[in-house]
Structure 1
């Protein structure tokens, strides 16, 4: 029984092949901005499931006048209101968002983590360049946060921004600056609670939503796992930060899981055979981004620092859209196209969280989803390399999954 069932019981077909590269890029960006608008009236008249179906499809945008949006809007207009707020802490670094901008800064948790954070920066840059080369307009891959720069303790960044951090933060430090993925808008978070969380949480929804960990809501796309009663989390452990959305829940909401599988497959193919990295411990998530009345191309954006970028685009925090993103590169390593490299690819795939569809799963829908992933991964990979490596990787994943399925019988 799924989480949603448990609670119940208590694209535009657009061809740009004939367009020049510049016009094609403009057309794609225009289509991305021309998404369906989910109005306040439609929100009032929609069920939680309908809100999630519209917004998590990544084909709609929503207008929200939440306190989050108003706070960022005010700081975007008035730089004097900008400051860094802590968003989350991982094993390597702590992430701070700059109010009024779509920018985050990641600082190492300790000096021992500086090397790991720098490796994260270099790998992020490598992956960003590969995706920019092979799918610059994200026609068939997910988005990667734009990388700004790497700052040393002697950088002018600290003279300009050090006082914007909380006094307890060590500002004599290294820093990785990149684009921020905004959390799911409030109506989406409310719908997640109403549609997927237990009655005990729904009864105190406002208190639950007011907690900081439930405001910073990013959604993990788990196409390789189905939620069951046995996997029901304890109430005290439930939160919207890094919220897991499982394959059966997406199906029940009417989401296009095949589209998600295709995006993942194409992106992983670029990581493997474009960037030549193993993709170890990366995450595929749904998060939001604000609308921009002026959209910069990659060449324009990469020449600006974070202050110039914030002022160069007119960001509308009241109007946001959900998009699929790829994050967390500090555990990735480079590979060679040989047996050792394939071993690393297979290990990274098998032992990552269950973002990808898995072969030899129990249901026909799971097998269909794996078929989509398999087909698109190989199709994109074969455009990047003439090597048999992609086919070997897929065959190895299927073999390892079959062994695991057999082991589970005993």
Structure 2
């Protein structure tokens, strides 16, 4: 055991240096010019998919948003996603996402009301511990709207909703994660899909112009070496897996460290097990200059987001450590979580970075909550690894 921990200390020291180097390097690459599209696909992805890169783009999204801001008749809803709970929409002219519950889902434990409650807790926790989680963003939960109430809202919104969804259903409003810009989407298709599917330029443009492919977020699968890309809608929830990321040169060390801190904040700050959460790369509009302070959609910051809390459960931290540890490590090895968490044996150096981030953030939070004599982060992560050996 001592030898194993000594090896981990060496890995974590090495990765701490790598993390520092990567963070310093990002400072000089934070602003990317509009000539990004003149570069090779791999260079575009390497530079764009680094945390806090800013991409300047004269996008159609920006034009649509600006035109609709002061014209309610243009603020219709477009579907931008779907999941187990229901459909997700954008409202043109507003920086919002609306998730509308599918009929019957409200009867399940993991209903939209449950997710909204968990989401509010996660958002408050990450805001409180924002100094720990500078690299991970949680979309702000704004409002829960019941299908039984708010008749004025439904009278206004349903006519703007796509025809198949023009029925009432519980709905949540939240801050929207903006998609990756077109220059990045094209590079993803050209780099990952075109060679395998033998796509020509016309076919690549057809994929890009498919409305379902315009709402592109990239799932950061540090635990998956490779994955399958959907042929019909490859850009919706694009699987960005570890081997291609490393081949291109995308910085994975800062991502692993940030994820470790985020899981620790969920667990020990929010007392939430983190079951089936997702980490995605998306963008946000930069703060605008001027009098109206409207967001500037022509300058988009690439950021790492944590979302999807429908399967999460609250864990009572007054229980015995063994019970609490089981709740957290059990969630970490099930569902999609293992796609995001670096594998402890296949990617030991990257896992050491994740582990280091988890322990550092966990220790700060436990000290703040005066629980540092009850729970031990080194012991928990050791238990997680031993538990993962039996399941992975």
Shorter-chain TM-score category? 0.7 to 0.9
Alignment of 1:377-396 (within 5 A): 377-385=358-366, 386=372, 387-396=374-383
**What is the CA–CA distance in structure 2 between the aligned matches of 1:372 and 1:136, rounded to whole Å?**
18
1:289 — aligned with what?
A: 284
Residue 360 of structure 1: which of 345, 359, 368 is its match? Answer: 345
Alignment of 1:10-409 (within 5 A): 36-44=30-38, 46-113=39-106, 116-135=111-130, 138-139=133-134, 141-153=135-147, 154-155=149-150, 156-199=152-195, 200=197, 202-203=199-200, 204-227=203-226, 236=231, 239-293=234-288, 313-337=293-317, 338=320, 339-353=322-336, 354-361=339-346, 366-385=347-366, 386=372, 387-404=374-391
Deviation of residue 394 (structure 1)? 1.2
Unaligned runs of at least 5 residues, structure 2: 1-21, 367-371
Residues 55, 321 of structure 1: 8 Å contact kept: no
TM-score if structure 1 supplies the norm length? Answer: 0.79
Task: Return closer, same or farther for 1:201/1:110 CA change in 2, 3 Å cut-off.
Answer: farther
Deviation of residue 112 (structure 1)? 3.5
Question: Is the partner of 1:148 in helix, strand or coil?
Answer: strand
The number of residues matched between the two structures is 353
Deviation of residue 107 (structure 1)? 1.0
Deviation of residue 65 (structure 1)? 2.5
**What is the CA–CA distance in structure 2 between the aligned matches of 1:84 and 1:232, rounded to whole Å?**
30
Residues 212, 233 of structure 2: 8 Å contact kept: no
Residues 214, 235 of structure 2: 8 Å contact kept: yes
**What is the CA–CA distance in structure 2 between the aligned matches of 1:342 and 1:312, rounded to whole Å?**
49
**What is the CA–CA distance in structure 2 between the aligned matches of 1:370 and 1:348, rounded to whole Å?**
17
Deviation of residue 70 (structure 1)? 2.2
* The 10-residue stretch of structure 1 (183-192 or 61-70) with the greater mean CA deviation from structure 2: 61-70
Question: Is the partner of 2:122 in helix, strand or coil?
Answer: helix
Q: Deviations over 1:142-165 (max 9, x none)?
A: 100011111123224334434322
Unaligned runs of at least 5 residues, structure 1: 1-10, 15-30, 296-310, 406-410
CA RMSD of aligned residues (A): 2.7
**What is the CA–CA distance in structure 2 between the aligned matches of 1:329 and 1:290, rounded to whole Å?**
24
Deviation of residue 315 (structure 1)? 2.0
Deviation of residue 358 (structure 1)? 1.7
Residues 146, 179 of structure 1: 8 Å contact kept: yes
Task: Return closer, same or farther for 1:312/1:349 CA change in 2, 3 Å cut-off.
Answer: farther
Task: Return closer, same or farther for 1:157/1:347 CA change in 2, 3 Å cut-off.
Answer: same
Task: Return closer, same or farther for 1:359/1:103 CA change in 2, 3 Å cut-off.
Answer: same
Task: Return closer, same or farther for 1:74/1:249 CA change in 2, 3 Å cut-off.
Answer: same
Residues 193, 202 of structure 1: 8 Å contact kept: no
Task: Return closer, same or farther for 1:252/1:35 CA change in 2, 3 Å cut-off.
Answer: closer
TM-score if structure 2 supplies the norm length? Answer: 0.82
Task: Return closer, same or farther for 1:84/1:294 CA change in 2, 3 Å cut-off.
Answer: farther
Task: Return closer, same or farther for 1:137/1:166 CA change in 2, 3 Å cut-off.
Answer: farther
